[in-house]
A and B are shown apart, each in its own frame.
Chain A
Amino acid sequence: MRFMPHTDGDVAAMLETIGAKHLDDLIAHVPANLRASATIKLDRGRSEAEVVHEISALADRNTGATGFTSFLGAGYYRHYVPAAVRAVIARAEFATSYTPYQAEASQGTTQAIFEFQTLVTQLTAMEVANASMYDGASAAAEAVLMARRLMPKRQVVAMSRALWPDYRATIRTYLSALKGLEIVEVPFDDVTGATDVAALDRIANDQLLCTVTGYPNALGIVEPLGAITEMTHRAGALAISATAEGIALGLLRAPGDLGVDIAVGEGQSFGLPLQFGGPGVGFMAARTIHLRQMPGRLVGQTRDRDGRRAFCLTLNTREQHIRRERATSNICTNHSLCALAATVYLSLMGRSGLRDLAERNVELSHQAADVLERAGIRRRFSGPFFNEFALKVANPEAALEAAERKQILAGVALGSNYTELSDALLVSVTEMNRGDEFGRLAAAIAGGQR
């Protein structure tokens, strides 16, 4: 087998050193009944060429990945990935190392994470960020758990109903085993698509632990995050923002500048392929006063014995391998290689490029909305939007089918997650879309409604 270097001679010599005759002598102590039934009934091994052939055949059957004009978004976004991002994360020095327990042999990984942490604090205008989480949804759940550790006596978690459905579901699962917590969904305004601030005001009392708000939200709307945060703070609670479209932070006011206490999100837009939904990379940023309750790995700057700057994992007394059942989280690793991709991506985009890209997304999405409106297809909500918006369409399923016949993936029907929005289609427009696609989209959707 090509991955295993042992010659027959090697095996014989090693067995002789050990004092065994056959390989199976080494497992003779495993109960016989278990060994007897352990045969793995899978096909014979395959050559590399055969493996490539077989996986390529599966890839070819994903006809939706290529050949369609796409307006799919809803939490994962189509953005151009510069080749330099792939060139870096393909490096075996990064890809085949592990958690940097040995700082001296991991300065590449630790420094890159330190840079990632810095970039996240700059994007969010927060004071500290961790080394990354699994994804945006689990980061949101961890943020709620962190809030609970900070204010253990409070009981009510207020999630905006316009927070991403996957995020809400993940928060529910993570909290499902913990006693004394109540989850409340704050409705969204049927006209604007933003979180209903008056409804939030009614539950903002001394039992409120935290609010969780999508920024932008799952309906594409840029939430009035400042007002929500202010109301949250008036009740003495913690404000959490969750951003699935990271590019938006290149242009929108930063969560930290709007008073947010814990800013989390998904970094997939920062140079990661769509890859059918994973792996992505979660980010989490907070205020320094809350640092000790933050979950996940942290890299800090320090010195080596000769006084040179160096980096290492730090504050790990919060973590599971030290504190075990009293740890801040059970998280062991982060999504380090994905965080590296994000670091390279954001470095390439840079101070002016990221803003330009964010603006371009706004311009294209507004151009698309205008074209659709001129064709009689109106937006479902009136609130401000970034690169995604909901359309009011009587029969979204028919519209999607009609568009598919024209080789267009027109968007995501919101009714599958919001029963009250069976008339809404979520359309995402990024720099991957071209202006001449919008007329085709309008014609296809209109065609599906006749």
Chain B
Amino acid sequence: MASAGRIVPIPVPENSSTRERTEPIAGVPLIFELSSEGRRGTDLSPRAAGDRRGAELLGAELCREDLPGFPELSEPQVLRHFLRLSQLNFAQALQFYPLGSCTMKYNPVVNDELAALPGLAGLHPATPAHLAQGALELIARMEAALAEITGMDGVSLHPAAGAQGELTGLLMIRAYHRKRGEVRHKVIIPDTAHGTNPASCTLAGFEVIVAKSNKRGYLEAAEVRRLMSDDVAAMMVTNPNTLGIFEPEIQEIAAALHERGAMLYLDGANMNALLGVAKPGHMGADIVQLNLHKSFSTPHGGGGPGAGPVAVKKHLEPFLPMPRLKNTDAGYEFDAERPDSIGRMRSFHNNFGMIVRAYAYTLALGGDGLAMASRLAILGANYVRKRLQPHFPSATGEPSMHECVLSHDLEKRADVSTLEIAKRLLDFGIHPPTIYFPLVVPGALMIEPTETESKEILDSFVEAMERIYDEALNDPERVKNAPQTLPVSRVDEALAARKPILRWEKKG
């Protein structure tokens, strides 16, 4: 069993000036509370004698007087503060982290070193192209690799995140129809979709039509045909869907859309199931966005940065965002003449630091390794599903791909909720799965083990889940009062929303 003892609550120091009798605080004071006037954590080289000060050069009317409340600490104090904060986190490198749909696989540490090479980290985005050919070639190679992996024709690495990739794709679809003289207002989205899909549609000016999955948990082409009209611009489909099921009728769905001139937008959030298994381009997708922080192993960073490339078929290539790389006799450069492009989604080129890491990962695995990664991810999900079947049955009878969605009867039998099960898992040193998603499964537990976790880890997870099931029936208070071994006990999220405190303010 995974040890729960790795995270140790940190006691408040006796001499902490912030300690108040009436207001007990958690382990680590805020950086602002550690400040003492006059301290600093940086030194500048001395200014040349006789120079006028910057504030004088600019004129007092343009300058502020002070930065009230800003931290004042020495370098070692700052370092200790943030290292102590780091110890309060669960993380993939430390714990099993089967957060469904997030693909928390191992992030190879060498990739961080590579992104930090002076030739990559020190490269200014306005460097003339002929002095940045290595970076441009890396971008070109990654575009080519993703085109091969997805079975698409053209790739842009421009979008900063998966959600921005979605918006990019939808704006391209809109531009494509307009170019053909058509204005279409609707996008079909299944009831199992991630929340970003409908939110992106709204931003792209589309109205959402919801398609219902069938009882077996997948979409039928007949349902798509029923909703189809000439006002439908596209359908967004996540495949495998959020129940972890491969959409068996995806090719028929693509045909139903194409017959009426609509596009198939494939959400590649779950690409970790498809590497060398099935290519979105062959399913009939016109566009697919990828999340490099998922299948391509770039660190999730506590919630970004990621990268959300879009891959498209030929007919959508002219609409790809700016800037777009082209290969000329003189080498690679960015193409400024692209009249049909939807334009920019962000500054400069792309989240290059994440592209470097993802490219290094793709090189490390190669075609065969990527195919094996998906197969082992699928093996892990089906293994966990099978072993947990007696207490946590699958929400669907269909075969699982890289993740499984389970349910349970503890709510009815013991008044123990999915949230409480999740919190109890923390005491076992395991990050909980995604919970209450997809929305179509009440009390869902969405488990994505990934290919980088061993059989022993999966076994210990199964044992923990079984033990929690027993506890819920025999000692429910233990589950309801979890977690007990973390730096804080159950956090009151309702209070946070009711009385928002969103920044530290100096007292008195």
Contacts and interface: CB of A to CB of B under 8 A. Distances in A.
A338 B376 CA distance: 32
Interface stretch (B125-133, B219-227, B410-418, B464-472): B125-133
A102 B487 CA distance: 13
B67 A123 contact: yes
A169 B338 CA distance: 14
B302 A94 contact: yes
Contacts of B133: 61-62
B420 to A, nearest CB: 12
Interface residues of B, number: 205
Nearest to B52: A363
A166 B110 CA distance: 32
Interface string A302-322: 111111111111111101111
B344 interface: yes
A172 interface: yes
Interface string B325-338: 00000000000000
A121 B124 contact: no
Contacts of A56: 114, 117, 119
A98 interface: yes
Q: Name the residue among A43, A92, A325 with the largest chain B CB count within 10 angstroms.
A: A325
Interface stretch (B255-263, B274-282, B309-317): B274-282
A358 B489 CA distance: 42
B379 A117 contact: no
A213 interface: no
A48 to B, nearest CB: 5
Q: Name the residue among A2, A82, A279, A343 with the largest chain B CB count within 10 angstroms.
A: A279
A134 B160 contact: yes
Q: Name the residue among B47, B68, B72, B117 with the largest chain A CB count within 10 angstroms.
A: B117
A337 B305 contact: yes
A129 B204 contact: no
Contacts of A138: 160, 164, 345-346
B491 A122 contact: no
A122 B115 CA distance: 32
A445 B504 CA distance: 49
Given A38-B279, A173-B171, A278-B347, A115 B31 contact: yes
A111 B345 contact: no
A64 B123 contact: yes
Contacts of B473: none
A44 B365 CA distance: 7
B349 A93 contact: no
Contacts of A111: 28, 30, 85, 88
Contact of B278 (A35, A121, A327, A331): A35
Given A23-B375, A137-B346, A359-B55, A70 B124 contact: yes
Q: Name the residue among B41, B88, B489, B491 with the largest chain A CB count within 10 angstroms.
A: B491
Interface in A66-110: 66, 68, 70, 72-76, 78, 82, 84, 86-88, 90-109
Contacts of A419: none
A297 B303 CA distance: 10
Contacts of B59: 384
Interface residues of A, number: 209
A62 B497 contact: no
A120 B379 CA distance: 45
A300 B501 contact: yes
Contacts of B276: 38-40
A52 B276 CA distance: 25
B246 A30 contact: yes
B455 A60 contact: no
Contacts of B305: 134, 278-279, 281, 335-338
B277 A35 contact: yes
Contact of A276 (B163, B349, B363): B349
Contact of B344 (A106, A134, A173): A173
Contacts of B215: none
A307 B488 CA distance: 9
B306 interface: yes
A347 interface: yes
B382 A26 contact: yes
B426 A96 contact: no
B503 interface: yes
A72 B125 CA distance: 9
B44 interface: yes
Nearest to A274: B124
Contacts of B347: 75-76, 135-137, 164, 166-167, 170, 266, 277-278, 280
B49 interface: no
A322 B75 CA distance: 41
A95 B134 contact: no
Contacts of B440: none
Nearest to B366: A45
B300 A122 contact: no
Nearest to B482: A104
B44 A84 contact: no
Interface in A211-252: 222, 250-252
Given A6-B454, A27-B277, A330-B163, A61 B119 contact: yes
Interface in A19-65: 19-20, 23-24, 26-27, 29-31, 33-35, 37-46, 48, 50-52, 54-65
12 contacts: A2-B364, A6-B451, A64-B123, A93-B87, A109-B302, A122-B69, A276-B124, A279-B304, A306-B24, A313-B493, A332-B162, A351-B40
Given A92-B91, A164-B347, 11 more contacts: A6-B376, A55-B356, A64-B132, A74-B126, A75-B125, A105-B431, A112-B85, A119-B71, A326-B202, A351-B67, A353-B42
What are the 3 tightest A-B residue pairs by CB atom distance, in nearest-first order?
A64-B131, A277-B348, A359-B54
